[in-house]
């Protein structure tokens, strides 16, 4: 008896062989494109900032690197106690790091070493020393009043004025360098703590 095959065997077409150099070039190009997409994607939502001076001691020390959330204030609003990075209003090519103290419409008063907002004294365990200056400021619309944690060694709103919201780069998230200083940055609710 004759035997028959019931399956169809497809015709095989000869495979094109690519050279090793071509495969390497394609893999390299794919890796570079993926790295560029990741780089620009990460930079669109975050920034890395190096602390340059002593104005935020003891919270932030010179030489530390922080990761900044650049979209925090595009989807939300700053809160009193937030640590932010912003373009210095008098020289936008410089970036400063300070703590938000006053929000639009609030009155900030510094007297007898105490900072108060709308008459409520703030609880500030993070400052280096009580401020040795006095003053009263009412924060205009779309602006922030900021102070350094090293109050008496900080160039901030008490000496040069308010930070327009369009100058705010973002909110500090954590210190990542040096590794032994790694920590998530605390943004305490210093107004409600005063109640």
Any catalytic annotation for residue 55?
A: yes
Phi, psi of 175 (to 5 degrees): -90, 130
Q: Where are the domains of the chain?
A: 47-194
CATH topology of domain 47-194: Umud Fragment, subunit A (2.10.109)
Q: Which residues contact 92 (CB under 8 A, 6 or more apart)?
A: 167
Q: Which two tokens stand for residue 1?
A: 């008896």
Single out the catalytic residue among 3, 46, 55, 74.
55
Single pTM value for the model: 0.74
Any catalytic annotation for residue 171?
A: no
- The helix (run of H) or strand (run of E) holding residue 168 is strand 168-177
Single out the catalytic residue among 16, 19, 98, 157.
98
Q: pLDDT tens per residue, the chain (195 residues)?
A: 555 555 555 566 555 556 777 777 777 877 877 766 666 655 555 577 777 888 888 888 888 888 888 888 888 899 999 999 999 989 988 889 999 999 999 999 999 999 999 999 998 888 989 999 999 999 999 999 999 999 998 889 999 999 999 999 999 887 877 878 777 777 666 665 544
Distance CA 83, CA 22 (A): 50
Distance CA 57, CA 53 (A): 9
């Amino acid at each position: 008896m004759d035997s028959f095959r019931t399956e169809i065997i497809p015709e095989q077409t000869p495979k094109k062989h690519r050279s090793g150099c071509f495969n390497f070039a394609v893999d390299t190009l794919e890796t570079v494109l993926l790295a560029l997409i990741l780089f620009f994607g990460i930079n669109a939502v975050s920034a890395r900032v190096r602390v340059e001076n002593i104005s935020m001691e003891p919270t932030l020390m010179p030489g530390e690197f922080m990761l900044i959330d650049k979209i925090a204030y595009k989807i939300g609003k700053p809160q009193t106690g937030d640590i932010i990075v912003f373009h210095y209003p008098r020289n936008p090519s410089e970036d400063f790091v300070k703590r938000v103290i006053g929000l639009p419409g609030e009155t900030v008063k510094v007297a007898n070493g105490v900072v108060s907002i709308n008459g409520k004294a703030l609880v500030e365990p993070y400052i280096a020393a009580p401020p040795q200056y006095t003053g009263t400021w009412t924060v205009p619309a779309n602006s922030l009043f900021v102070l350094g944690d090293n109050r008496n060694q900080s160039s901030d709103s008490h000496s040069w004025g308010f930070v327009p919201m369009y100058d705010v780069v973002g909110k500090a998230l954590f210190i990542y360098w040096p590794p032994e200083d790694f920590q998530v940055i605390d943004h305490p609710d210093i107004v409600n703590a005063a109640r």
